[in-house]
A and B are shown apart, each in its own frame.
Chain A
Amino acid sequence: MNVVWFWTLAVMLTVYAVLDGFDLGVGAVHLWVARSNEERRVALNAIGPVWNGNEVWLLAAGGMMVVAFPRVYASGFSGFYLALMLVLWLLILRGASIEFRHQIDHPMWRALWDAGFGVSSLLLALLLGVALGNVVQGLPIEADGFFQGSFALLLNPYSLLTGLLSLVVLGWHGANYLRTKSEGALLARARRASLWLFWPAVALALLTTVATFHVKPNAAANFFVHPLAFVFPALAAAGFVGALVFHRDPTDRCPFWMSTLVIICLLVTAGATIFPNLLASTLNPAWSLTVYNAASSPRALRDAFIANGLGMIGVVVYTTYAHRAFRGKVRLGSHGY
């Protein structure tokens, strides 16, 4: 059950990264890709009906972490205190920017919230990557299971590299999403952005792989125990290749599915690298918070799994329906942003 919960959380966070990833990505690139008011409205309407729901994946994952691994939740969230508060404020700014922009029809008002949306999306994509980098690398967890995460500690070269990787990959993913939703000049610019971000994404992914072995020499240990796991880094590479091969796809759908594949595989690879640790201690391996020593009792794990698993079936069904109802290109009408 402990292992099942590890992968449940991994799946929740991966789905979050794929879904909120494209709307963060749209935010991160829209100042550059979408120029006119109409184009920016298309960009906002492309994510308008779904961004709130996408963010719920993060909320639900947070809630699941409380019940499944309360010690990890307690230690991680309090340790990352100031960084998380920054994330919260950015999430507030971002939500406010999306909702407030269309309320007043004035260029200065719109410019203000466009900047808010762009900057907050950009920083969030970066910070989420920084957080992941620190989790992979390990933290100075004491014997009591807690640590103090100062900015000096959290902003190290490795985590900044993963932050940059996250920003570029999500920006690429967002540009690919915009390709599926836009037409005309916006489509042309989204296509160009998608290609321009593609090469840095590949370079950063390779660099991160090398750096991971540098900070964590035994990073591949789990893969040699379960060789099947090599499928995931291989598929990530295949996703990159596929994106290049299908870059000129006239329907503009393939690149989006390829960046989706890349994000899923990169995150599963990261998960396979850290397992069975959730938060590894850099001071003493015995102080690490693992899926065994940080978990709730078997009964709590089982009950929570049943209760939430049943609900998630429903969520998947109507989330799919909602996303399908809005598939296709955005047409600006009287409704929406």
Chain B
Amino acid sequence: MAHRLQFALTVMFHYLFPILTMGLGFFIALLSTLELVTGESRYGAAAKFWAKIFAINFALGVVTGIPLEFEFGTNWSRFSSYGGSVFGQTLPMEGVYAFFLESGFLGLFLFGEGRVSRVVHWLAGVGVAVGSLLSGYFIIAVNAWMQHPVGYRLASDGTLHLVSFWAVLLNPYAGWQYAHTINGALLAAAYVMGAVGAFYLLCGRHLEFGRQTVKMAIVAGTILSLTQLFPTGDFNGADVVQYQPVKLAAMEGLFKTQQGAPLAIIGMPDTTRARLLDPIFVPDTLSFLAYGNFHATVKGLTDYPRDLWPPVDLTYYAYHIMVGLGTIFIAQMLLGLFLLWRRRLYSARWFLWTLMLALPFPYIANEAGWMVTEVGRQPWLVYGLLKTSAGTSANVAGGEAVFTLIGFCGIYALLSLLFVFLVGRVIHEGPEEAPPAA
């Protein structure tokens, strides 16, 4: 249990940083491109401002990411030894194809101005974005393999052997999962930009930067909040329906198998009595969402053996928090777009307040989404093949894992304080102002 808690803590804390590096990298590359094309220095100043925040995130992403790569071996040694030669295929590729690109070019981007030509500097910005987006794919491929193992055969020594490299790399489960994850990261970055821009507009500083940033955030955020639902969320959900129907039942809090299953908007699962308390249902909708047919039969939890249920409460609430927040994001962004169109966006202080205060919610939604994926996969570590309890390190005592778990709690608490403090300072200092026009 301590192994699971430690991994959950370290991976969830780590993921706070890649959300922004994956999302922000794209926007920095976009701003650098605008600078190169238009020659306007305000885009360059904005790119530089975000690169500062990116750099702090990246550094913390790296230092909190190294533990994860180690933990496969330190805490999950039986899992590594069992499936390493299959799921491990894409693990070093993350380093080889993505991290080298990201770290090498980030150095060039942050330190290289004046040392390299403008085009190379721009290329470095693009390299950072490509690297951070690629890194996501390789690690999602590992996770997708744990959700839906492919390309292996069970060898006589009890470990898995690789049958097809391409099957692992191009796992059908990975495609939409990746799209949904990256889309979520980009949306979070749009929200961070929106919140910072709104903050500047509300306190009357860096007005031009604020307007430019809020506008970019609203336009990108509207598109992204919609694509988060469809197609990425919808198709990712379809993969769950196809490969992990128990997870679907837990996500939706569906206990009894039903024809024309309803969609629970609100309700509290009661696992001992196998029912949903105080629910508000939309009739037949779950059947439609899962199978495209209002009368399709959806299997409920009680039709599966109890020991194959994931923790229902956690899966259910995480899923509902994610979907609920996603819906609110769409509404908020559409409203913002409407105000932008009516040219009232920059003066609608009430809206800017909501945009600024919305900052934590995309993070919560992203983390909740991962909780659905990972908690919902339980009790399996590799779906259908290896139980989580059989993957831990047998030679590491529970007490040792508790000790290191406490250590990680302490260090990460300290890191988060420093992070908030330092990013707060960067935002307080603001972007470099262009010299006033003559």
Contact = CB atoms under 8 A, between A and B. Distances in A.
Interface in A38-92: 45, 48-50, 52-53, 55-56, 58-60, 62-64, 66-68, 70-71, 73-82, 84-85, 88-89, 91-92
B28 interface: no
Interface residues of A, number: 67
Contacts of B94: 63
A100 B77 CA distance: 34
A70 B92 contact: no
Which secondary structure characterizes the binding site on chain A? Answer: helix
Interface of A: 45, 48-50, 52-53, 55-56, 58-60, 62-64, 66-68, 70-71, 73-82, 84-85, 88-89, 91-93, 95-96, 98-100, 103-104, 145-148, 296-297, 299-300, 303-304, 307-308, 311-312, 314-315, 318-319, 322, 325-326, 333, 335-336
A311 B393 CA distance: 32
Contact of A336 (B74, B97, B110, B161): B110
B73 A303 contact: no
Contact of B161 (A58, A296, A304): A296
A32 B338 CA distance: 61
A331 to B, nearest CB: 10
Most chain A CB within 10 A, of B77, B94, B415, is at: B77
Contacts of B64: 92
A319 B99 CA distance: 12
Nearest to B83: A70
B59 A52 contact: yes
Interface residues of B, number: 71
A56 B85 contact: no
A92 B396 contact: no
Contacts, number: 223
B74 A297 contact: no
Contact of B77 (A74, A85, A92, A315): A74
B55 A299 contact: no
Contact of B89 (A45, A80, A307): A307
A308 B415 contact: no
A16 to B, nearest CB: 11
B56 A59 contact: no
B135 to A, nearest CB: 11
Interface string B418-430: 1000100100000
A311 B169 CA distance: 15
A53 B110 CA distance: 14
Contacts of B15: none
Interface in B379-403: 393-396, 400, 403
A78 B69 contact: no
Contacts of B96: 60, 63, 308, 311-312, 315
In the A-B complex, the 8 residue pairs with the smallest Cβ-Cβ separation, listed nearest first, are A77-B73, A70-B84, A63-B92, A296-B85, A60-B95, A49-B107, A67-B88, A66-B88
A123 to B, nearest CB: 15
Given A67-B92, A77-B74, A100-B418, A297 B162 contact: yes
B165 interface: yes
A61 B230 CA distance: 38
Contact of A91 (B63, B84, B105): B63
Contact of B99 (A59, A73, A303): A59
B112 A325 contact: yes
Contacts of A304: 88-89, 92, 165
23 contacts: A45-B111, A62-B69, A62-B73, A63-B92, A66-B73, A66-B80, A67-B88, A74-B81, A77-B70, A77-B80, A78-B77, A91-B63, A91-B66, A96-B418, A146-B394, A296-B161, A297-B161, A300-B85, A300-B161, A304-B88, A325-B115, A325-B116, A326-B111
B7 to A, nearest CB: 13
Given A74-B81, A299-B161, A67 B111 contact: no
A307 B62 contact: no
Contacts of B377: none
A140 B169 CA distance: 37
A322 B55 CA distance: 17
Contacts of A307: 89, 93, 165, 169
A52 B106 contact: yes
A100 B84 CA distance: 36
Contact of B80 (A58, A73, A89): A73
Interface in B26-84: 55-56, 58-60, 62-67, 69-70, 72-75, 77-78, 80-84
A68 B85 CA distance: 6
A311 B97 contact: yes
A59 B66 contact: yes
B86 interface: yes
Contact of A95 (B63, B403, B407): B63
Contacts of A74: 73, 77-78, 80-81, 84, 393
Nearest to B401: A81
B115 A326 contact: yes
A107 B77 CA distance: 45
B171 interface: no
A280 to B, nearest CB: 17
B86 A300 contact: yes
Nearest to B169: A307
